[in-house]
Amino acid sequence: MTRLRVAIVDDEEPARLVLREYLAEEPGVEIVAECANGFEAVKAVADLAPDLLILDVQMPKLDGFEVLELVGRETSVIFATAFDEFALRAFDVHAVDYLLKPFSKPRFQEALERARERLQAAPPSSPGADAPASARLSPAELAAAARPAGTRPSRIVIRDGADVHVVPIDRVDYVEAQDDYVGIHTGGTVLLKEQTLAALAATLDPRRFVRIHRSFVLNLDRLAKLENRGKETRTAVLRDGRQLPVSRTGYARLQELL
């Protein structure tokens, strides 16, 4: 049996305490990190590449869903929460393993065993085959399912190695598709996030963010004017002077909103 390398993530000391206690009695398990918030968790994943995260849902800075969004492809996750009806529904819908606080040792061992089996069947970073639950599902979909109906995320989280950027939605100027990434333009800087433009656009408020082009989603607040350059060619001029191309369907979408 290979050694299972585990990182514990919970902002409450007693909660970490019980995990430490339960894990200490498990053979073949090594606790590689104890994190008190989401940033530390992302850093621990980047630096130590644990096999498994035991992840609290409600934490300062980054919540459990945001951590999953940032590291979901590299590690397996077991969520732990006390009570959160939306999160529980999302876990059930997406068949994510979770622990309800307080949890017993047998229940914990069960979840650990399942995680071990998943990892042996297909480690998260290896492509194809029978992928584990945390890689099979889209973290964004899970996070969306865990939000109360009709609400949208108020920020975008982006990982840059061990660093995490948190960008409030209203500070986003526009988003640009770049192969498998999106470039998030905010106040003159660009942050790259591994996500498709369509997937990101789906999480944004369609009344504020418009897909003006195959490769661009624009924050309507930043639009200064539309320029007509010959037939069928239009350009969006932003408040800071930058120019973005507008496709025919993009123009139709803009007209609908303006």
d(CA 45, CA 164): 12
Among 5, 29, 46, 58, binds other proteins (CB under 8 A): 58
Q: For residue 222, count CB atoms less than 10 angstroms from its CB and return exposed for 0-12, middle for 13-18, buried for 19 or more.
A: middle
Between CA 149 and CA 214, with CA 182 as vertex, the angle to 5 degrees is: 90
98 binds other proteins (CB under 8 A): no
In the set 30, 47, 48, 83, which binds other proteins (CB under 8 A)?
83
Instruction: Considering the complex, state which of residue 103 and residue 251 has its C-beta at the smaller distance from other proteins.
Output: 103
Residue of 2, 3, 21, 126 that binds other proteins (CB under 8 A): 21
Binders in 128-157 for other proteins, by CB under 8 A: 151, 154-155
| Residues 164-193 close enough to bind other proteins by CB under 8 A | 166, 168
Nearer to other proteins, 37 or 76 (CB): 37
Query: Does 255 sit near other proteins (CB under 8 A)?
Result: no
Q: How many angstroms separate the CA atoms of 87 and 211, rounded?
A: 30
Would you call 26 helix, strand, or coil by DSSP? coil
Helix (H) or strand (E) holding 44: helix 38-48
**In this complex, which beta carbon is closest to other proteins, that of residue 63 or of residue 176?**
63
C-alpha pair distances (Å), 123 with each of 34, 95, 212, 242? 22, 18, 39, 44
- The residues that touch other proteins, with contacts defined as CB under 8 A, are 11-15, 17-18, 21, 36-37, 39, 58, 60-61, 63, 82-84, 100-103, 151, 154-155, 166, 168
